[in-house]
Structure 1
Amino acid sequence: MVVTPTPPNPPILNDPTLTSTWSHRAWVASGCIITVLISLAKAITGAAKSHMWLEPIVAGLLGYILADLASGVHHWFIDNYGSASTPLFGTQIDAFQDPHKRPWRVTRIQFANIIHTLARGVTLTVLPIDLACSCNDPTIHGFVAVFSGCIIFSLKFHALAHTPKSQLPLLVAALQDAGLLV
């Protein structure tokens, strides 16, 4: 029997701030399923039609690297500057600094709750461009799909960094060990 140590300030089991709502799930669905998958499908079909595979793959790799850089710089900035009363970014700063006070809490936030804000941002930014743009360049769509997907999941990846290694799925632990996830 594995005994999980109790965090110093155990969470209240019915804490509504940790629970995903239907609104959270809807934003995740629109961000992941609609926005990212539309770009990914356009990248794959465009690559198949043009027999151009290397460029979309390289663009996807670039999307991964730039998403990692952008989310890292954003996290560093939010962690080090401002407070809850900072205009425009105050609630985001407060939420980002919470794991430093209570690292156990971020590991208990349900999936859609932790990523819905980024999914909403991606949906509101990328979906209109995807729908309005007649561009069928698989390279652009490859970049957009991977970049958007990595941005959406960046907070979940960060939450997994606060999870004890013994509680991580083997794939996540392996990706962390390889330096591909935080």
Structure 2
Amino acid sequence: MKTELKNQLRQQDATVLAQGYSPAIRAMEIFSIIAFVALESALVWRLWGNPLVGPWMVLSAVLLGYLAADFVSGIVHWMGDTWGSTDMPVLGKAFIRPFREHHVDEKAITRHDFVETNGNNCLVSLPVALLALLLPHTSATWVFLSSFLGAMIFWVMATNQFHKWSHTDTPPVIIGLMQRVHLILPPDHHRIHHTAPYDKYYCITVGWMNKPLALIGFFPMMERVITWATGLIPRKDDIGAEAALELFQTQAADAPPVVKAAQELLEGGALAEEPGAVSPVRPS
């Protein structure tokens, strides 16, 4: 079944996708990197010397921020892989295109310079960076929240660099060591995601969240909810309508118990509204 599904995949041309990286997008990314560094530096300056800041608070914020960044990377990665089209205005070329290009040319990311690798993540982190900077530092709770948000977006910014290293044939020695002990994203772990049809292990900061999310069927459950609510089929614009529909149906059959329970609740609600045959897709 999986071999037949893989043969049905219709992917976009890697050269066309690469050409979508325009001078305007690069200028936006350069601005984003400068703004991100400025905001993070200002946050460190605000926190430095604050009597409420202690080593355990900083360590907790950094570690929790790392886990949160891994989860956020999975959400963003899943959205970029699963929904929307590269032809969409602004979002298509700036955000969705890099994800789709990566599936047809895994090594393209290793040829990207610092700006192209990290600019997008800096851009999406700017609102959170500004929030972390503007929060009041009048109590331990506010200081911890500000530190946590600052740490989280630092790791979000570093995510694509870790991702790039996971595809690099000969990374620096220290990076290879960190990959082997799973302190950053290991190549073997990430390779699971790069097995067609690319529907699992989306977390790419460190990958610690991938197994827990897979055990509860988090992303398939989210896809079924969105499909029920909108009628959209996940990955239709990435792998083709036929393969996407077959994958959607296969996932439903193989779903963990928690996903099947959620599906039954959704279908039960639809049945109560409109008697008739039960469908995984909400009527439009």
Q: What's the TM-score once normalised by structure 1's chain length? A: 0.73
* Farther off after superposition, 59-68 or 36-45: 36-45
CA contact (8 A) 2:129 2:150 kept: no
- Residue in structure 2 matched with residue 150 of structure 1 by the alignment: 155
Q: SS at the partner of 1:50?
A: coil
Shift of 1:174: 1.4
Task: Confirm whether residue 34 of structure 1 aligns to residue 38 of structure 2.
Answer: yes
Superposed CA RMSD in Å reads 3.0
Task: Name stretches of at least 5 consecutive residues in structure 1 with no aligned partner.
Answer: 1-10
Amino acid at match of 2:147: G
Across the two proteins, how many residue pairs are aligned to each other? Answer: 163
Larger Rg: 1 or 2? 2
CA contact (8 A) 2:86 2:96 kept: yes
Q: 2:175 pairs with 151, 172, 176, which one?
A: 172
Describe how 1:45-124 pairs up with structure 2 within 5 A. Answer: 45-46=49-50, 49-50=51-52, 52-85=54-87, 89-91=91-93, 92-124=95-127
Residues 24, 86 of structure 1: CA spacing in aligned structure 2 closer, same or farther, 3 A cutoff? Answer: closer
Greater RCO, CA 8 A, separation 6+: 1
- Residue in structure 1 matched with residue 262 of structure 2 by the alignment: none
Aligned equivalents of 2:53 and 2:82: distance in 1? 46
Task: Confirm whether residue 135 of structure 1 aligns to residue 140 of structure 2.
Answer: no
Q: Can you list the C-alpha shifts for 1:154-174, whole angstroms capped at 9, x where unaligned?
A: 12221221111x2x1112111
CA contact (8 A) 1:56 1:140 kept: no
Shift of 1:98: 0.7
Amino acid at match of 2:104: K
CA contact (8 A) 2:65 2:148 kept: yes
Shift of 1:107: 0.6
Aligned equivalents of 1:23 and 1:171: distance in 2? 31
Amino acid at match of 1:123: L
Shift of 1:147: 0.5
- Residue in structure 2 matched with residue 160 of structure 1 by the alignment: 165
Task: Name stretches of at least 5 consecutive residues in structure 2 with no aligned partner.
Answer: 1-14, 186-284
* Farther off after superposition, 18-27 or 34-43: 18-27
Aligned equivalents of 1:153 and 1:67: distance in 2? 9
Aligned equivalents of 2:79 and 2:21: distance in 1? 24
Identity %: 20
Q: What's the TM-score once normalised by structure 2's chain length? A: 0.50
